[in-house]
C-alpha cells in the first residue's frame, strides 16, 4: 500500500504469531500493515507448505521409489522456503515501518528536508527489495510445485495444483508491491533493474504455473 492512505502499522512479531482468523481480521483493518505485501508472503508460504505435504506423502511409497531422492531434496528446499516466507511477512512489515518513519521525519529546515528526502528514498528501496526478495522465493516455490505436481503421489495432485496457484498468486502480488514502491523511487537505474528482474520472474513464473495447473486439471477432469 502507498503511504498517503496509511493508518497505523501492526507490530511485525504479532503477525506470524496471530491466529489465522485474527490475522485475516488484521488484514481487513484500516491499519497500514499487514497489507498486500504480507498477504503475498503468506500465499507463498501456503505454496511451499503444500509442496512439502505432497513430498511427505510421496517419500517412502514403493510406487514412487524412482523419485524418492529428488522429492527428498524438494522437501528440504520447501521447508526452508516456508520459513523464509514467514520471515518475508515480517520483512514486509518492517520495511513499511521504515518508510513510515522516514516520512515522519521533521522538515522545517533545508537540511532536514534534504535528510528526510534521502531517508525516504533509502526506505523506499528497502520497501522495494522486500517484495522483490519475496518474488524470488515465489519463483522457487513455483518450480518446486511444478516438480511435485509432475512427479509426486498422484492421489494428492490437487494439492500440488493448489501449491502452484498459491505461489503464482504470491509472485504476482509481490510484483504489484514492487511496482507501487518503484513509483516514488528517484534512482532510475535501481528502478529499471528492479522492474526488469520482476518482469523476468513474472514471465517465467506465469508459463511454468499455467503449464502445471493445466497438467493437474487435466489429470483430475
* Contact positions vs its own copies (CB under 8 A): 1-5, 7, 15-21, 23-25, 27-30, 35-36, 39-40, 42-43, 45-46, 48-50, 52-53, 56-57, 78-79, 82, 85-86, 89, 153, 155-159, 161-163, 165-166, 168-169, 172-173, 175-177, 179-180, 183, 213, 216-217, 220-221
Query: What minimum distance in Å lies between the beta carbon of 103 and its own copies?
Result: 13
Three-state SS string over 71-115 comes to HHHHHHHHHHHHHHHHHHHHHHHHHHHHHHHHHCCCCCCHHHHHH
Least distance from its own copies to the Cβ atom of residue 102, Å: 17
Query: Residue 30 and residue 33: Cα distance in Å, rounded?
Result: 8
Q: 3-class DSSP state for residue 121?
A: helix
Residue 33, SS3 per DSSP: strand
Minimum CB distance to its own copies smaller for 118 or for 214? 214
| Count of all residues that appear for the chain in the document | 221
**Between 115 and 126, whose beta carbon lies closer to its own copies?**
126
The CB-of-112 to its own copies minimum distance in angstroms stands at 25
Cα distances (Å, whole numbers) of residue 107 to 40, 103, 160: 34, 9, 52
CB-nearer residue toward its own copies: 122 or 176: 176
Smallest distance, its own copies to C-beta of residue 3, A: 8
Instruction: For residue 145, count other CB atoms closer than 10 A to its CB.
Output: 33
The answer to whether residues 121 and 183 touch, using CB atoms and an 8 Å cutoff, is: no
Which CB, 21 or 108, lies closer to its own copies?
21
CA 189 to chain centre: 24
How near is the Cβ of 79 to its own copies at its closest, in Å? 7
Distance CA 131, CA 133 (A): 5
Instruction: Please tell me the distance from the alpha carbon of residue 101 to that of residue 120, in angstroms, as a whole number.
Output: 9
Shorter beta-carbon distance to its own copies: residue 88 or 98: 88
Considering beta carbons, is residue 27 or 150 the nearer one to its own copies?
A: 27
CB of 156 to its own copies, least distance (A): 5
Amino acid at each position: 500500500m502507498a503511504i498517503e492512505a496509511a493508518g497505523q502499522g501492526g507490530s511485525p512479531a504479532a503477525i506470524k504469531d496471530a491466529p489465522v482468523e485474527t490475522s485475516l481480521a488484521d488484514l481487513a483493518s484500516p491499519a497500514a500493515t499487514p497489507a498486500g505485501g504480507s498477504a503475498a508472503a503468506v500465499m507463498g508460504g501456503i505454496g511451499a507448505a503444500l509442496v512439502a505435504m505432497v513430498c511427505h506423502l510421496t517419500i517412502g511409497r514403493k510406487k514412487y521409489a524412482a523419485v524418492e531422492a529428488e522429492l527428498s531434496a524438494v522437501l528440504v528446499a520447501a521447508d526452508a522456503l516456508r520459513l523464509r516466507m514467514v520471515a518475508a511477512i515480517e520483512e514486509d512489515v518492517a520495511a513499511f515501518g521504515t518508510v513510515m518513519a522516514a516520512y515522519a521525519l521533521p522538515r522545517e529546515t533545508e537540511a532536514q528536508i534534504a535528510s528526510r528526502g534521502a531517508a525516504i528514498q533509502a526506505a523506499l528501496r528497502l520497501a522495494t527489495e522486500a517484495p522483490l526478495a519475496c518474488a524470488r522465493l515465489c519463483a522457487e516455490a513455483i518450480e518446486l510445485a511444478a516438480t511435485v505436481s509432475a512427479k509426486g503421489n498422484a492421489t494428492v495432485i490437487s494439492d500440488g495444483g493448489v501449491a502452484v496457484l498459491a505461489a503464482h498468486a504470491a509472485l504476482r502480488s509481490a510484483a504489484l508491491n514492487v511496482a507501487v514502491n518503484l513509483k516514488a523511487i528517484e534512482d532510475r537505474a535501481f528502478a529499471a533493474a528492479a522492474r526488469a528482474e520482476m518482469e523476468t520472474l513474472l514471465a517465467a513464473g506465469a508459463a511454468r504455473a499455467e503449464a502445471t495447473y493445466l497438467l493437474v486439471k487435466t489429470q483430475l477432469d
